[in-house]
Chains A and B, each alone.
Chain A
């Protein structure tokens, strides 16, 4: 279980551009829950993920993982349990190393990083088995540099390396945003499969409202550091794309139209309570 308790985060403290993004922000994510997170730019989605992963410190409040406060843990320590995929496909793997070396490197995550051979030849078949279901033919090009792959291939490889060793949480930061529609579809299918297979607790940011509805079992919309929509199970399943789009538009444009006139022209996003 992942909890954020009373999180406060201010950017540009003591400057003219001071922005308090989060003020007493609370969120609880159950085990094996797959949350898709939507919201406009600047709504605090990525900041939220950065606070969870430890890339950014919060000013107040705590991040609690399975009942344990991990606020003081460094990013790399949290990475033992968290896998993260970024928007930029180049961030997830080492461009100057081959596919095989990247897989070996990820495989060594759970081992001691001593002076044993970086690549264990007995594991090569296993790596190929991991790559085969991607259907991209990567298993036949193990000696290709990761930097020579296309964005989609590289993102698929990053998905494999991030989830190769046992992790409990998967953080996806717009991981299909830089890909063409066809490839994005492939990666999304792969994501869904990996998350189900491995039973990962997942938070996925997406700007694709269709994916947000189709994938995952909980949908959260954020606006200016607050949760303005939070639907699970049946409620989420029955939600119509049009309604979501209206709500999204309502919060971000001058004239709210429906979705109850965007919560009656958002008196402080009261919907968080719904």
Chain B
């Protein structure tokens, strides 16, 4: 079969996934581009969101309530990383690794001790067997709902960044001294950023869990890399454009990243090899990030 035919056949699924991962990417946008914090917590908080949603759905919770609980759980994970980093003065990368490692065990506990939980096909999720999904034409319903969620998150974030606290958060990432001069504790602002970011990441994990109807303990591996790739693709693609908001850039970046992966698979790449590509991509991103920093120094 033709590579392109395979790619286009998978396109709706690619876009669905891209939109779901866009929520995650917007969370990573906060820690990486705004706070300049390489937050590895996300490798644990993403499956945390999935674990919470999976186990709550299996005990009969409403799908939306499950997502809210997932986001809250993610917020707690972000809080933990923030407190470890700010109060105990552990380096940023290590704070994330500590929480991520701990979360692996916690996720298994939440999922009832099993590394794999599946949700039955008949269950009501935000994508299936609910009034909204029933009205939408089959085939587009999942994309439409994923788009709706991504847009809601985007608009909320856009609004947040224009609030007083949003200003403070943006200032914290760019120039901590200004936060101090405003008589605010810069550590607390950093913690707040991590809380919001991880809430979004876990929310994204919860959404993915509802779409794929499963939680898997190792699903978080590479979350940070995936999110960073999305953010950097989006931001660099629209470099210098003031018309398109950062959040929109990141959503487009997430879809493009998923499209790249899908294209690689269509080309016949074995899923096992994908990690190699991912790691090469990560190296590229970090190298590009260093160059960006240099630029910033002289800005």
Residue A47 CB within 8 A of the other chain: no
* Complex CA–CA separation, A96 to B185 (angstroms): 20
| In the complex, residue of chain A having the shortest beta-carbon distance to the beta carbon of B184 | A76
- Chain B contacts of A105 at CB under 8 A? 167-168, 171, 178, 182
Contact status B163-A93, CB under 8 Å? no
Check A113–B185 contact: CB distance below 8 A.
no
Chain A's closest residue to B189 (CB) is A113
> How many residue pairs at the A-B interface have CB separations less than 8 Å?
79
- Does chain B have a CB within 8 A of A84? yes
Tell me, in angstroms, the Cα distance from A105 to B170 when the chains sit together.
10
CB contact between B164 and one of A74, A79, A93, A116 (< 8 Å): that residue? A116
Q: A104 to B165: give the CA distance in the assembly, Å.
A: 12
Whether, in the assembled complex, B299 has its beta carbon less than 8 Å from a beta carbon of chain A, the answer is yes
- Interchain nearest-CB distance for B161 vs A (Å): 8
CB distance from A18 to the nearest CB of B (A): 24
Interface residue total, chain A, C-beta cutoff 8 A: 34
Hey, what's the 0/1 contact readout for A115-143 against B, CB within 8 Å counting as 1? Answer: 11111000000000000000000000000
Contact A108 B167, beta carbon cutoff 8 Å: yes
Q: Is the CB of A94 within 8 A of B182?
A: no
Known: A74-B185, A97-B170. A108 touches B178 (CB 8 A): no
Q: Is B181 part of the contact surface with A, judged by Cβ < 8 Å?
A: yes
**Listed residue (B163, B168, B182, B184) with the most chain A CB atoms within 10 angstroms of its CB:** B182
CA of A109 to CA of B166, assembled, Å: 14
- Which residues of A from 213 to 258 have beta carbons under 8 Å from B? none
- By secondary structure, the B interface counts as helix
Given contacts A95-B175, A95-B299, contact A83 B181 (CB under 8 A): yes
Tell me the complex Cα distance, A221–B164, Å: 42
Cβ-defined contact, A79 with B182, below 8 A: yes
A77 proximal to B (CB < 8 A): yes
**How many chain-B residues does the 8 Å CB contact rule pick out?**
23
CA distance A111 to B177 in the complex (A): 19
Is the Cβ of A75 less than 8 Å from the Cβ of B180?
A: yes
Q: How far is the CA of A90 from the CA of B298 in the complex (A)?
A: 10
- Shortest distance from the beta carbon of B204 to any chain A beta carbon, whole Å: 23
Chain A residues positioned under 8 Å from B177 (CB to CB): 86, 91-92
Write the chain A residue with the least CB distance to B186. Answer: A76
A58 to chain B, nearest CB (A): 19
B183 contacts A by Cβ under 8 Å: yes
Contact between A117 and B164, CB atoms less than 8 A apart: yes
Which B179-224 residues have a C-beta within 8 angstroms of A? 179-186
Do A79 and B174 contact each other (CB < 8 Å), given the known contacts A117-B162, A118-B167?
Answer: no
Q: A162: CB under 8 A from chain B?
A: yes
- Could you tell me if A113 and B170 are in contact, using CB atoms closer than 8 angstroms? no
Residues of B contacting A97 in the complex (Cβ-Cβ under 8 angstroms): 167, 170-171, 174
With A76-B185, A105-B171, A109-B183 known to touch, is A94 a contact of B165 (CB < 8 Å)? no
Looking at B171, B179, B183, the one whose CB has the most chain A CB atoms below 10 A away is B183
- Complex Cα distance, B174 from A105, in Å, reads 13
Distance A136 CA – B184 CA, assembled complex (angstroms): 30
Contact with B along A65-91 (1 / 0, CB 8 A): 000000000111101100110100011
Provide the residues of chain B in CB contact with A76, threshold 8 Å: 179-180, 183-186
Contact A108 B164 (CB under 8 A): yes
Contact A79 B166 (CB under 8 A): no
Q: How far does the Cβ of A269 sit from chain B's closest Cβ, in whole Å?
A: 33
A83 to B185, CA, bound (A): 16
Sample (5) of A-B pairs whose CB atoms are under 8 Å apart: A79-B181, A79-B182, A113-B164, A115-B164, A118-B162
Other than A106-B182, A116-B164, give 19 A-B pairs with Cβ distance below 8 A. Answer: A76-B179, A76-B185, A79-B183, A84-B181, A91-B175, A94-B178, A96-B170, A97-B171, A105-B167, A105-B178, A108-B167, A108-B182, A109-B183, A113-B164, A113-B184, A114-B164, A118-B164, A118-B166, A162-B181
Interface residues of A (CB under 8 A from B): 74-77, 79-80, 83-84, 86, 90-97, 101, 104-106, 108-109, 111-119, 147, 162
